[in-house]
A and B are shown apart, each in its own frame.
Chain A
Amino acid sequence: MNSGRHGMGNKLKKGVPFKGTSFSDLLAGLIYVLIAASVLVFILWPSIAIMVKSVYYDGQFTLAEYIKLFTQNKQLLLNSIFVSVFSTVLAVVIGLFIALFVSHSQNRGKRLTFAVLLLTMISPPFVSALSYIMLFGRRGIITYHLLGLTINPYGWHGVVIMQALGHASLAALIILGVLRGIDKSLEQASLDLGADSLRTLLKITIPLAKPGIIAAALIAFIQSLADFGTPAIIGGNFSVLATEAYMNVIGLYNLPRAAAMGTLLMIPALLMFIIYRRTVENSEYFSLRVSTESPLKLSRGVNYSLALVTASFILFQLIQYITILWGAFAKTWGVDFSFSLRHIQAVEASRLAAFGRSLEYALIAALVGTLLGMIIAYMVARKKFPGYRTLDFLVTLPYMIPGPFLGIAYVLAFHNKPLILTGTAFIVVANCIYRQLPISTRAGTAVLTQLNPETEYSARDLGASEITAFKDIILPSLKPAFLLGFVNTFTTTMTTIGAIIFLVVPGSEVATVQMFNAIKTGQIGVSAVLANMIILVTLLINLVFSYFILRSPRYGGREKREETYVPAIDGIK
């Protein structure tokens, strides 16, 4: 019964059969229950707290804010959806091109591409937008000084481009994780049957990567819906729900309306999620045997277009990061680009404490959060307990809520009995963990959906406990997902400000808060220095972590097998 045949989806639904009660299995059960409970406490409970705010205030129940929204602010909702759809499609297309470039093309520069992908995950808030303005603004270095154009960069097009490029890195990494795991013998079969390489790519490779593509789309879409920073800085007159919601909290102090906007944002996100579930559930392809090398020899045309998109992406991103780097050493950013060390000298030692705090929070959040994400992915994709769909949805929920709301939601939920956590470092870390959980979980399920469960079944048949099977079989194959989850959680914790500004207490400032304040007071050079410090340290830790995750032959003798699932990373080997 355990020897499921190739692609037998219905068998899967029943999951791994129960194999008698052992202490280890009990422990596994306990872990599942605890994790599910923590999701209820740290995701469902604060979400309810903020939603209640939108319908119950001043002591009574009312739908007034929703009615107002639909009658007066329909345009905002439409704007949000328009921008998100547009930027998602762009991000996924760019991401797919880059992923295919790394996994399938014969070009050089894969290592560089992978490093740039890791780098561009690190985008400290506001600094990127500032460098965009410096490069492409009305007086931008490229648009004005180089090309002599005076274009207006503010508006929906700027938002779409910046979001698409911003989300393309994550999309590429997610798709890459899946692409490298697909059964290359299917590609070989297609070639043997006479299809050319392009046809194989379109009919075999890309459909097989569908779980990754859809997961990337879901994440890009939700991220774009909830993004308030980009439209706030380069949107100009163009407003979306997330920015308006932010302004309603911070400016109008109108929490009920903001909460209503936040709740409304979840509707398109929810629709997207349903589409995602359907697609993924209908696409359970498993590979029996995986070979590392793709047999595809891409035609020159395909090869060049992949390389072109990837190269343009890299060029654009590098220019942006070089601008930020330059900003730290330029005498006056934007006016006098001569070399100067004065900004670096202006960074005081007192800032290092906040920096250390950021690092500590980010490391804990990344390790705990990613492990949590992997286990949840396993619970959702393999165990399929009753209610696994709900769990899957709940895990995605915090991502749909714009950062500042999740911060306020946490204050509303954890400031009073029964659970008082505000004022602790724990709640800051918890917020970072649960906010980024969707990425780790999504990356994990994307890999698992595509992974044949037979190995686990065999292991269980041979008497391995559930925990052993998870540790020895699942976790190694989840390496790319684990890496992605770590990099993402670590990076966002190092760079976000939206949610945690409401949770940190005086005396426990983190690095981004300081950077943001340097920008606010006009010390652009100093904030560039801080941004570079954040970028450098984050990149370094990401690289070191990637190195260890990919190198450590903890499961001795099975290295060959691991190779097959981890290749997303051979770029940096």
Chain B
Amino acid sequence: MKHKLLAMLMILVLVFGLAGCGGSSDADLPAPEEKIAADLAGTTLKVFAAYGGKDEIFQAFEADTGIKVEYLDMSSGEVLARIRAEQGKPLGDIWFGGGVDSFIAAQTDGLLESYVSKEAEFVTDQYKDPDGYWTGISLVTVSFIVNTDRCAELGVDVPQTWQDLLKPEFKGEILMPNPSISGTAYTILSGILQTMGEEEGWAYMDQLNAQIPYYAKRGGEPPQKAALGEAAVGLAPDTGEDLKAEGYPIVSVFPRDGTPWWPSPVAILKGAENLEGAKVFVDWCLSEKGQQILRDNCPRVPAREGIELPECLAEIKDAELQDIDFVAAGNARDGLVEQWQTRYGQ
């Protein structure tokens, strides 16, 4: 309650303050964003987050802006289900990271606030919504998490391509999540269909399906089971750095004949209480410094141009990123998933 009042007061001060400034010359005033940031110091921003290294990232943000971040770790499907039920009165301000398809769905439902950050000009058009409903902060790339011990047992080389997964040795050894729950799996499906073409794409999926013992119901399961040796290959939205650090006998491979990927966005929720603070947050995430901090705490390809890749993703330069139209993929989702379900769901 106290926070609410405080936030309201801040916004009032802000609105009247800015309105009052209208007449005077701009020259003798501090730059508006500095003023905003100063006024917002001490306010709180509530964030739904699906991102690595959150604690470090949000601490750095607080150090830079004075805005305190409280977050809740939720998968993007959970965030979407929740903000839909909350009907435009969300109990959070920011949605940070996740599958772009959920963001597109939320945008369609009118649950996001449009905000074109001035920093967004350094982000390629393909990674962002033109009206600023969401803006990519990093790229998530799909890789094979391969258990080398299991491969040795099976007497087969570490797979490098999608075609390699069809080798008879890998029968029953490949795990991927169900595309109806996993953004990773859906991106794989739509990426393959978009790059191979409908007919060839489904033919490939048929063959891949024959290799897969069952579809996981959580996105994090395939890499974990690959680490434990329950399967040779798990398809994952990251390179499994945490699992590698734990000491599991795994390597990660970007499929050389086309790596599926998607932008992981940040968005302001419609009805956000701390709207101005949320804007500062989006600006910060996309700024050069923010992008470096994001990269250092969660190894992904930065969305902003000119930011160095994280070390563990160096190989991505040799991989071929698939050419994917995300808005088309997002809109085709229901139909594709339905089709997938009838083919392989039972």
CB A334 to nearest CB in B, in angstroms, measures 5
Query: In the complex, are the beta carbons of A506 and B92 less than 8 A apart?
Result: yes
Measured between beta carbons, the chain A residues less than 8 angstroms from B247 are 331-332, 335-336
Assuming the contacts A232-B217, A336-B247, asked whether A137 and B230 have C-beta atoms less than 8 A apart, the reply is yes
Assuming the contacts A332-B247, A521-B242, asked whether A251 and B180 have C-beta atoms less than 8 A apart, the reply is yes
| Measured CA separation A332–B247 after assembly (Å) | 6
| Measured CA separation A411–B85 after assembly (Å) | 6
CB B244 to nearest CB in A, in angstroms, measures 9
Query: In the complex, are the beta carbons of A422 and B246 less than 8 A apart?
Result: no
Measured between beta carbons, the chain A residues less than 8 angstroms from B231 are 138
* Partner among B91, B181, B240 whose Cβ is within 8 Å of the Cβ of A251: B181
| Measured CA separation A251–B341 after assembly (Å) | 13
Query: In the complex, are the beta carbons of B87 and A505 less than 8 A apart?
Result: no
Interface string of A394-408 (1 = CB under 8 A from B): 000000000010001
Query: In the complex, are the beta carbons of A334 and B89 less than 8 A apart?
Result: no
Measured between beta carbons, the chain B residues less than 8 angstroms from A237 are 213-215
| Measured CA separation A152–B230 after assembly (Å) | 10
| Measured CA separation A247–B16 after assembly (Å) | 47
B280 interface residue, CB < 8 Å from A? no
Assuming the contacts A331-B247, A504-B72, A522-B242, asked whether A253 and B81 have C-beta atoms less than 8 A apart, the reply is yes
CB B250 to nearest CB in A, in angstroms, measures 10
A371 interface residue, CB < 8 Å from B? no
B52 interface residue, CB < 8 Å from A? yes
Assuming the contacts A232-B217, A506-B92, asked whether A253 and B84 have C-beta atoms less than 8 A apart, the reply is yes
A509 interface residue, CB < 8 Å from B? yes
Query: In the complex, are the beta carbons of B248 and A255 less than 8 A apart?
Result: no
Interface string of B204-247 (1 = CB under 8 A from A): 00000000011101111101110111110000000010110011
Measured between beta carbons, the chain B residues less than 8 angstroms from A250 are 75, 77-78, 81, 181
Q: Number of contact residues on B: which range applies?
A: 35 or more
Query: In the complex, are the beta carbons of A75 and B346 less than 8 A apart?
Result: yes
Nearest A residue to B81 via CB reads A249
Interface string of B63-91 (1 = CB under 8 A from A): 00000001111110110111011110101
CB A423 to nearest CB in B, in angstroms, measures 5
Assuming the contacts A232-B217, A252-B180, A507-B71, asked whether A408 and B242 have C-beta atoms less than 8 A apart, the reply is no
* Partner among B182, B220, B337 whose Cβ is within 8 Å of the Cβ of A521: B220
Measured between beta carbons, the chain B residues less than 8 angstroms from A416 are 87, 89
Assuming the contacts A332-B246, A334-B227, A506-B47, asked whether A517 and B73 have C-beta atoms less than 8 A apart, the reply is yes
A520 interface residue, CB < 8 Å from B? yes
| Measured CA separation A236–B230 after assembly (Å) | 12
Query: In the complex, are the beta carbons of A233 and B217 less than 8 A apart?
Result: yes
B291 interface residue, CB < 8 Å from A? no
A511 interface residue, CB < 8 Å from B? no
| Measured CA separation A571–B48 after assembly (Å) | 46
Measured between beta carbons, the chain B residues less than 8 angstroms from A519 are 220, 224
Query: In the complex, are the beta carbons of B228 and A522 less than 8 A apart?
Result: no
Measured between beta carbons, the chain B residues less than 8 angstroms from A501 are 74, 78
Query: In the complex, are the beta carbons of B84 and A236 less than 8 A apart?
Result: no
A133 interface residue, CB < 8 Å from B? yes
A525 interface residue, CB < 8 Å from B? yes
CB A420 to nearest CB in B, in angstroms, measures 9
| Measured CA separation A416–B218 after assembly (Å) | 32
Interface string of A332-375 (1 = CB under 8 A from B): 11111000000000001010000000000000000000000000
A469 interface residue, CB < 8 Å from B? no
B334 interface residue, CB < 8 Å from A? yes
| Measured CA separation A519–B243 after assembly (Å) | 11
CB B216 to nearest CB in A, in angstroms, measures 9
CB A164 to nearest CB in B, in angstroms, measures 21
| Measured CA separation A81–B197 after assembly (Å) | 41
B249 interface residue, CB < 8 Å from A? yes
Measured between beta carbons, the chain A residues less than 8 angstroms from B73 are 509, 513-514, 517
Query: In the complex, are the beta carbons of A506 and B72 less than 8 A apart?
Result: yes
| Measured CA separation A519–B334 after assembly (Å) | 29
B105 interface residue, CB < 8 Å from A? yes
| Measured CA separation A293–B82 after assembly (Å) | 54
| Measured CA separation A137–B147 after assembly (Å) | 16
Query: In the complex, are the beta carbons of A522 and B227 less than 8 A apart?
Result: yes
CB A384 to nearest CB in B, in angstroms, measures 38
Of the listed residues A134, A246, A252, A255, the one surrounded by the most CB atoms of chain B closer than 10 A to its CB is: A252
A14 interface residue, CB < 8 Å from B? no
Query: In the complex, are the beta carbons of B246 and A252 less than 8 A apart?
Result: no
Nearest A residue to B83 via CB reads A411
Interface string of A139-167 (1 = CB under 8 A from B): 10000000000001010000000000000
Measured between beta carbons, the chain B residues less than 8 angstroms from A393 are none
* Partner among A134, A253, A506, A509 whose Cβ is within 8 Å of the Cβ of B80: A253
Which residues 31-51 of B sit at the A interface, judged by CB distance below 8 A? 44, 46-48
CB B233 to nearest CB in A, in angstroms, measures 14
A524 interface residue, CB < 8 Å from B? yes
Nearest B residue to A155 via CB reads B214
A412 interface residue, CB < 8 Å from B? yes
| Measured CA separation A412–B82 after assembly (Å) | 9
Interface string of B170-183 (1 = CB under 8 A from A): 00000000101110
Query: In the complex, are the beta carbons of A139 and B230 less than 8 A apart?
Result: yes
Measured between beta carbons, the chain A residues less than 8 angstroms from B308 are none
B164 interface residue, CB < 8 Å from A? no
* Partner among A152, A236, A502, A521 whose Cβ is within 8 Å of the Cβ of B85: A502
| Measured CA separation A334–B229 after assembly (Å) | 9
| Measured CA separation A255–B84 after assembly (Å) | 9
| Measured CA separation A168–B71 after assembly (Å) | 37
CB A520 to nearest CB in B, in angstroms, measures 4
| Measured CA separation A302–B217 after assembly (Å) | 43
CB B91 to nearest CB in A, in angstroms, measures 5
B55 interface residue, CB < 8 Å from A? yes
| Measured CA separation A525–B228 after assembly (Å) | 13
* Partner among B77, B246, B334 whose Cβ is within 8 Å of the Cβ of A522: B246
Measured between beta carbons, the chain B residues less than 8 angstroms from A134 are 228
Nearest A residue to B89 via CB reads A415
Measured between beta carbons, the chain A residues less than 8 angstroms from B215 are 237
A120 interface residue, CB < 8 Å from B? no
* Partner among A75, A253, A332, A408 whose Cβ is within 8 Å of the Cβ of B105: A253
| Measured CA separation A522–B247 after assembly (Å) | 11
Query: In the complex, are the beta carbons of A415 and B242 less than 8 A apart?
Result: no
* Partner among A252, A331, A348, A525 whose Cβ is within 8 Å of the Cβ of B337: A252
CB B281 to nearest CB in A, in angstroms, measures 13
* Partner among B91, B223, B249 whose Cβ is within 8 Å of the Cβ of A423: B91
| Measured CA separation A252–B346 after assembly (Å) | 17
Interface string of A319-338 (1 = CB under 8 A from B): 00000000000011111100
| Measured CA separation A556–B92 after assembly (Å) | 53
Measured between beta carbons, the chain A residues less than 8 angstroms from B72 are 504-509, 513
Measured between beta carbons, the chain B residues less than 8 angstroms from A249 are 77, 81
Measured between beta carbons, the chain B residues less than 8 angstroms from A513 are 72-73
Of the listed residues B81, B86, B89, B180, the one surrounded by the most CB atoms of chain A closer than 10 A to its CB is: B81
Which residues 101-135 of A sit at the B interface, judged by CB distance below 8 A? 133-134
Measured between beta carbons, the chain B residues less than 8 angstroms from A348 are 55
* Partner among A251, A336, A415 whose Cβ is within 8 Å of the Cβ of B87: A415
Measured between beta carbons, the chain A residues less than 8 angstroms from B52 are 521
CB B232 to nearest CB in A, in angstroms, measures 11
Query: In the complex, are the beta carbons of A506 and B217 less than 8 A apart?
Result: no
| Measured CA separation A332–B229 after assembly (Å) | 13
For the complex of A and B, 8 pairs with smallest distance between CB atoms: A507-B70, A251-B181, A250-B77, A506-B46, A332-B247, A411-B85, A236-B214, A232-B217
5 A–B contacts, CB within 8 A, in A order = A152-B213, A232-B217, A502-B82, A513-B72, A524-B224
- A133-B225, A232-B218, A252-B180 provided; 10 other pairs, C-beta below 8 A? A133-B228, A139-B229, A252-B181, A253-B77, A332-B248, A422-B91, A502-B81, A502-B82, A508-B72, A521-B242
**B residues touching A (Cβ–Cβ < 8 Å)?**
44, 46-48, 52, 55, 70-75, 77-78, 80-82, 84-87, 89, 91-92, 102, 105, 178, 180-182, 213-215, 217-221, 223-225, 227-231, 240, 242-243, 246-249, 334, 337, 346
